[in-house]
Amino acid sequence: MLTLRATFSPVAHLLPNPTEWGIESHVSTIAIAITTLWLILGSGYVLRTKKDGNVYDLGGIPIVTAWTFFTKRWDFLCGHFANTGGRMFRFRVMQHRVIALTGEQSRKIFFNNHSLDISEGYRILLGGIPNLEDIDISKEFETKRQEEIKRILMLFRSDRVAEILPTLLHDLNQRMLGWKKEGKMDPFNEVYDLVFQMTVRLATCRELAEDKAAVTQLSGHYWNLEKSGTPVSVLLPWFPGSAKKRKGKATMALYRMLGSYVELRRNASTPTIDTIDHLIGQGLSDNVVISTIMAVVFAGVVNTGVNACWLLLHLGANPTWKARAIEEYAALVDKHTDTISTEPLHKRLAAVPISAWENELPSIDLIIRENVRITTPAAALRRNLVKEFMVDDVVIKRGDFLLYSMGGLHMDPNIYPDPSKFDPNRYVAGRAEDRKEALAFVGWGAGRHPCAGMKIATLELKLILALMLLGYEYELVDGSGKSLESLPQPDRNDLHHVRCLHDRSADGMFRLIFVHRRVH
């Protein structure tokens, strides 16, 4: 079967319709060739990087300059920081200015300045970049944002999580039973399903969480919406392309689906401990309940999914740390459960108190921290909503977007020697590489914007890891079934899955899979 791969060209609209090219238009063809050459040569001049004070301005046509930011963000940042000698640079996305920062002093400002907003910052990735006049930057806006964070923190209080812990483990066990006792699987599919199931359980209600078909349907809407922020939809928001239509359709489908379960629980005779009932009990409107659910889902699935996959990969490629993790989990179970119990593993794990999951797994904490460092995405984004301020003598105007290269920080060999190496001992006393500079580790946010879901995300990772390490024996192989001598590096341009480099095809190209055997 012949497959054509089409790529949108920013200059395509400048050229005549190819169907009108005929023999009689020889002169026109020459004119087209001359025009195209002029565009290429002109772009080479216009798009050159120019230093404007202390910031390098990438210049040029915004759609051309910013294209790679949306298609290969890691390469975009690394390439331009290399070209500018590691100094900040500036570019435009449509009418909006984006300033890319690096370095310790810029990092302090980025993560602590009160004028910077995290939620508005990420609108640039979702394709819904508003004009500054449309943004409510009053105290009411700040209050609403703080209230949403408080609601999320309330949902993930230790006492609430303790009540739902057995159900989370039951859900994971049921999903894992679908893997059968032994076989092969793609972790970037199966492990993501585990994370999505837990997120639905935590964020919605049992009627939805226990309906596998509904969870699958919800997952489809989520991924359609998550991936709708294509370069075309963001850089050309007026263009009625497939991504724009898919985004609108997925948004409405997601809203209606969640709304139906909110209505179901609102009309129920007896409330439960589930999240929807908890939010309804606070007197919140349907829209606020749905927006809170969506905030939890969109904040948790991708980041937790990436880290869950890579935790298993890194331990599969590092047998010493894998053995250490298994030993620590086994000690946790022996300490807090009946050692002669014949109950299934997931029920024994459910007897372990929340405080033990949080405080009695020091090696697992080191492993998770190192895993987060290596798999952190390319950049964090903020938007200045309040007033002008300075960064290295550069004025950050009201309405400007800022980005900080978190991946660049975490892969800096001056802070983390041999940064690509998986080495959880980096953080132990005597080394403490993450304390060499202020905020040298930002994998869970930092300063004014730490991750509100850090504790629950960490618990989810620990639960998946416990069931996998104690319940299965597994190894990593390629598509031909050969054991891997070394683990490939993550593809940091892959913002949704951060798969291994070249892990793209089942036909001849590298493919990483689990070979697993259930032992409990």
The binding site for heme comprises 451
Q: Compute CA 127 distance to the chain's CA centroid, rounded to the nearest angstrom.
A: 16
- Give the per-residue SS3 of 367-408: HHHHHHHHHCCCCEEEEECCCCEEECCEEECCCCEEEECHHH
H helices, E strands: number in the chain: 22, 14
- Give the per-residue SS3 of 199-230: HHHHHCCHHHHCCHHHHHHHHHHHHHHHCCCC
- The residue whose two tokens read 């024994």 is 348
C-alpha–C-alpha distance, residues 113 and 341, integer Å: 53
Q: What 3-state class would DSSP assign to 129? A: coil
List residues forming the annotated binding site.
Answer: 451
Residues 413 and 421: beta-carbon distance below 8 Å: no
Greatest Cα pair distance in the chain: 90
- The residue whose two tokens read 């075309």 is 232
Q: Compute CA 175 distance to the chain's CA centroid, rounded to the nearest angstrom.
A: 23
Residue 498 φ/ψ region, left for φ over 0, alpha for ψ in the -120 to 50 degree band, beta for the rest: left
Residues 506 and 479: beta-carbon distance below 8 Å: yes
C-alpha–C-alpha distance, residues 322 and 241, integer Å: 47
CA-based nearest residue to 445, from 223, 162, 124, 121: 121
